[in-house]
Homo-oligomer: A and B are copies of this chain.
Amino acid sequence: MELSEFQRLIDDTYGAKDRARGLPSTFLWFVEEVGELARAVNGRTSRDNLEHELADVLAWLTTVASIAGVDLDAVATRRYGAGCPRCGGRPCACAEQRRRPEPVEP
């Protein structure tokens, strides 16, 4: 599906409710879904649940974009369509800067 079509589909389904609730409160619902996705990524649920949570986070992200009046497809294409926004590479050739190593596994 086109990303813009998915954003429109979610807006048709939930837009009126989401606009009535407002942006800050809708963002909290999005974060709630991010927490559910974390649980699935952490291996605490089923494969089916992981897929479902990925879809839910995407749906809430498009709703946040819709309430804010942002065309997610347009901004994503503008930012990533020509490769990495920093180095221009595809694949990206940026060095990953992390100042602290991960703790050693016990």
Chain A interface (Cβ within 8 Å of chain B)? 1-3, 6, 9-10, 12-17, 21, 23-25, 27, 31, 34, 37-38, 41-42, 50-52, 54-59, 61, 64-65, 68, 70, 72-73, 75-81, 83-84, 89-92, 96, 102
A78–B54 Cα distance when bound, in Å, is 12
B41 touches A55 (CB 8 A): no
B13 touches A89 (CB 8 A): yes
B80 touches A10 (CB 8 A): yes
A13–B85 Cα distance when bound, in Å, is 10
B90 touches A6 (CB 8 A): no
Apart from A1-B3, A13-B84, 16 more pairs, CB < 8 Å: A2-B3, A3-B3, A9-B90, A13-B90, A17-B92, A27-B41, A31-B38, A34-B34, A41-B64, A51-B75, A54-B72, A55-B78, A55-B80, A58-B76, A59-B80, A61-B61
